[in-house]
Amino acid sequence: MLQRAKAAYLGLAVGDALGATTEFMTPNEIRAKYKIHRKIIGGGWLYLKPGQVTDDTQMSLAIGRALLSAKRWDLAGIADQFLVWMKSKPIDIGSTCRRGIRNYMLTGQLETPYNDGDAGNGAAMRMAPVALFSLGDEKVMERYALEQAHLTHNHPFSDAACLTVGKMVQRALLGANRFELHELTRDLVDHHGNFRFNKYSGNATAYVVDTLQTVFHYLFSTASFEECLIGVVNQGGDADTTGAIAGMIAGGFYGLDDIPNRWLKKLNREVRAEVEAQALHLVRLSPWAARNLYAQS
């Protein structure tokens, strides 16, 4: 379990670093420049160093820092960590995230009001630490998922995406098979039909519906972590975030041994070390750990 937790969190960071190179490119542009993009080489519109990550991983780590500091769910602590991160002048920050964090800075509000423009993927991309911390209690995960989401995003599509991604990560860690994970996508489509992905259109934008359609298409049409991630990031668009979300689910599902070592070696060393440490400590604070690791003590 602890190794799978590391795989889910590392999968997020690897997908972020891999996808950042092709962010905002079209599939045709990617083919013309790389044929198939399959190496962590940095660059992209942000001119990243190889292995450098973006807001997907950075905001996830901010959540993890708050939870590990408090050793409990601490929404105000998460907001404080987001504010510290924003003030550090990160290389990239989405406009919806910036607005929500700025509102917290000015008013102290921990829930941004509903907004038609909040159907982006910026809350779903940071679900890995939430899923690990609440592992073993899906109802608790659902509450935490929406609370952290509403710091910056308040829209039914974002909410539904966060809940589905969180469930998929947790159930993958707990041993769900491909059919059981697919059932979760059917539940999502039953409630929000626009997430249907059986006739994938190829859109991979930051609109959370496009994001999850891309993730699901490649998750269920491939047979390995590497194949899934390569498919996702070669769609371009918001490739760092589609890569991050696909990476956390596929990492939990396939496990650590299936993440290519060449990608792990390229990942920024400090980021990799913090991701691995957070993964272990977050799970050790989870309901699953209370039942399985500490039951005899």
Q: Is the overall model pTM greater than 0.85, yes or no?
A: yes
Question: What is the per-residue pLDDT for 295?
Answer: 64
pLDDT tens digits along 21-49: 999 999 999 999 999 999 999 999 999 99
Predicted confidence at residue 106, as pLDDT, reads: 97
Q: What is the 3-state secondary structure (H, E, C) of the chain?
A: CHHHHHHHHHHHHHHHHHHHHHCCCCHHHHHHHHCCCCCCCCECCCCECCCCCCHHHHHHHHHHHHHHHHCCCCHHHHHHHHHHHHHCCCCCCCHHHHHHHHHHHHHCCCCCCCCCCCCECCCHHHHHHHHHHCCCCHHHHHHHHHHHHCCCCCCHHHHHHHHHHHHHHHHHHCCCCHHHHHHHHHHHHHHCHHHCCCCCCCCCCCEHHHHHHHHHHHHHHCCCHHHHHHHHHCCCCCHHHHHHHHHHHHHHHHCHHHCCHHHHHHCCHHHHHHHHHHHHHHHHCCHHHHHHCCCCC
pLDDT in tens, the chain (297 residues): 999 999 999 999 999 999 999 999 999 999 999 999 999 999 999 999 999 999 999 999 999 999 999 999 999 999 999 999 999 999 999 999 999 999 999 999 999 999 999 999 999 999 999 999 999 999 999 999 999 999 999 999 999 999 999 999 999 999 999 999 999 999 999 999 999 999 999 999 999 999 999 999 999 999 999 999 999 999 999 999 999 999 999 999 999 999 999 999 999 999 999 999 999 999 999 999 999 987 655
